[in-house]
Amino acid sequence: MKTKLLPLVAIISAAAAMPAAANNAYVTDSYGNIVRDSSDRCVRTIHWTADKQDASCKAADEKAAPAATETAATEAAAPAAEAKPAYKVPANIEGNGTNAYWVGSNGYVVKDGSGRCVRTINWTPEKQIDACEGVVKKPEPKPEPAPVVAKPKPEIKPFPAPVAKPVIAPAPINAPMHFTGFFDTNKTNLSDKAKTQLNDYADYMKAVDDVTLKITGHTDRTGSDAYNQKLSEKRAMAVKTYLEESGVAGDRMTAIGKGETSPIADNNTKAGRAENRRVEIEIVK
């Protein structure tokens, strides 16, 4: 009948220590003594074979055999439903730096013949390595993500109704003063005073587009009728030409001559004849 070994806890005691065998079949401490478990059995290495076993270690194994056999029989008699699968210690477990376990030169915890981690006398539950003791910690649950709060939709406000701008009636444009341009005898050139007045007419015509001008030239009775007719026409054209050069469209003006037929003063006097040598402008709407 096969016996099942109990879980092994290494308790190192100076009184239980003994010199190591001259081979590497057993785990030894820093003093060269064979490490023993809680049942006083020597902790074997993977190099252990029957022909390498130490005599004192063999005696300790045989002494512990009856207790192991009794325990195995008790466990075998237990209902199968209560049996739990044995915890399998990982092959390589790194030491945790608390000297609670024996650690080999490779940095991994030393295992006994049953594959259990070998404890030292400094072991306490606070210093244990969970992987050695069969403690499987469940991973901490990840925190649930915070609920996503929907951003409030921006309030869409209607554009304010456009404010109607007050209609400002354009200021009335006053017509220039009545133009009467005077000329020297037998002349058609405009005086400076006449040009100043004609500038006002040019500005008015460019601001008001629904009127036309009627330009009429006159003479005194000096000279023949035919001569005076031509002279009156030339005087009317002199005024029209000046206004065209000032920006007034020619088709908005009519230039005619009346010769000596429409005097406004007595042609028998010098002053009267000067008033008759003239050009008049009429605004036609």
Average of per-residue pLDDT values in the chain: 81
With a pLDDT cut of 90, the percent of the chain lying above it is 38
pLDDT one-digit tens code per residue, 135-176: 766 777 888 888 888 888 888 888 888 888 888 877 788 889
Answer yes or no: do 24 and 121 share one domain: yes
Q: Can you give the pLDDT at residue 10?
A: 40
Answer yes or no: do 124 and 184 share one domain: no
Answer yes or no: do 66 and 122 share one domain: yes
pTM tops 0.85, yes or no: no
Q: Which of 34-48, 118-132, 215-229 has the highest mean pLDDT?
A: 215-229
CATH number (domain holding residue 257): 3.30.1330.60
pLDDT bin (cut points 50, 70, 90) of residue 20 is very low
Q: Give how many domains the chain has, as a whole number.
A: 2
Q: Which of 10, 39, 6 is nearest to 123 (CA)?
A: 10
Mean pLDDT of 245-266: 96
Q: Can you give the pLDDT at residue 245?
A: 96
Domain interval for residue 94: 1-137
Checking if the pLDDT of 6 tops 80, the result is no
Q: Can you give the pLDDT at residue 66?
A: 61
For residues 25 and 203, the model is more confident at 203
pLDDT bin (cut points 50, 70, 90) of residue 2 is very low
